[in-house]
């Protein structure tokens, strides 16, 4: 079994070129295995496609939370709780929050919450409001047309010299 030295890359001596292979940890600028030429300059090493950029957010079920709380409550010796948290990859704040949720008796609160925007509650009157606003626009348009017709009638009567006074009874004699 080979041991790999744990010295930082900038302190590590580069192996002699032309030996065809490398020992221990390889630096990004050294020759890759298989005899392919090494790329030089910035961005010399290609990213590994197998590595995800960001870990997915962990979601804890209510069953898991209760199980961890039971194990945490069973810890009596110094260091046991810390070992439990390290083993599970948790923080003490997780336990605090979960204990509060358990004490409140909110089983629903123990389930992971959906992230993001909350759905907007629809107003049951919004449909009726939209209908009334449409009716108002229709009536305003109808009124505008009627006023235009009345204005035209007034102008025509002025041109023809016809009186518009309803109390004037010239033609009724």
Instruction: Based on the fold, state whether residues 106 and 144 are members of the same structural domain.
Output: no
* pLDDT for position 173: 47
- Token pair 């336990």: residue: 95
Question: Quick check: is 146 in a domain?
Answer: yes
In this predicted structure, what is the pLDDT of residue 85?
Answer: 93
Mean pLDDT confidence for 53-75: 86
Integer angstrom CA distances of residue 127 from 119, 123, 124, 137, 138: 18, 8, 7, 16, 17
**Is residue 23 a part of any domain in this protein?**
no
Domain that holds residue 159: 128-163
Q: Bigger pLDDT: 54 or 165?
A: 54
Instruction: Look at residue 134 and tell me if it is in a domain.
Output: yes
**How far is residue 95's CA from residue 82's CA, in Å, rounded to a whole number?**
12
pLDDT at 26 over 60: no
**Domain assignment of residue 153, yes or no:** yes
> pLDDT averaged over the chain?
76
81 in a domain, yes or no? yes
Residue 12: inside a domain: no
CB neighbour class for 137 (10 Å; exposed up to 12, middle 13-18, buried from 19): exposed
Estimate to the nearest angstrom the gap between the alpha carbon of 98 and the chain centroid. 24
Same domain, 99 and 132: no
Domains identified in the chain, total number = 2
| Same domain flag for 100 and 136 | no
Same-domain pairing of 106 and 132: no
In a domain, 34, yes or no: no
Query: What is the reported pLDDT for 160?
Result: 86
């Amino acid at each position: 079994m080979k041991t790999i030295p744990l010295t930082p890359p900038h302190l590590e001596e580069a192996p002699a070129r032309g030996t065809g292979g490398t020992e221990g940890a390889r630096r990004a600028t050294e020759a890759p295995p298989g005899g392919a030429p090494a790329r030089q300059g910035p961005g010399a090493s290609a990213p590994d496609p197998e590595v995800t950029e960001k870990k997915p957010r962990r979601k804890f079920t209510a069953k898991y939370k209760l199980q961890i709380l039971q194990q945490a409550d069973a810890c009596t010796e110094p260091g046991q709780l810390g070992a439990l948290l390290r083993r599970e990859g948790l923080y003490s704040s997780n336990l605090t929050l979960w204990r509060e949720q358990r004490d409140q008796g909110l089983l629903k609160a123990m389930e992971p919450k959906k992230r993001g925007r909350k759905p907007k509650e629809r107003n049951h009157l919004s449909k009726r409001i939209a209908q009334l606003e449409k009716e108002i626009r229709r009536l305003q348009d109808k009124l505008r047309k009627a006023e235009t017709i009345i204005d035209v009638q007034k102008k025509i009567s002025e041109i023809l010299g016809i009186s518009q006074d309803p109390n004037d009874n010239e033609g009724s004699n």
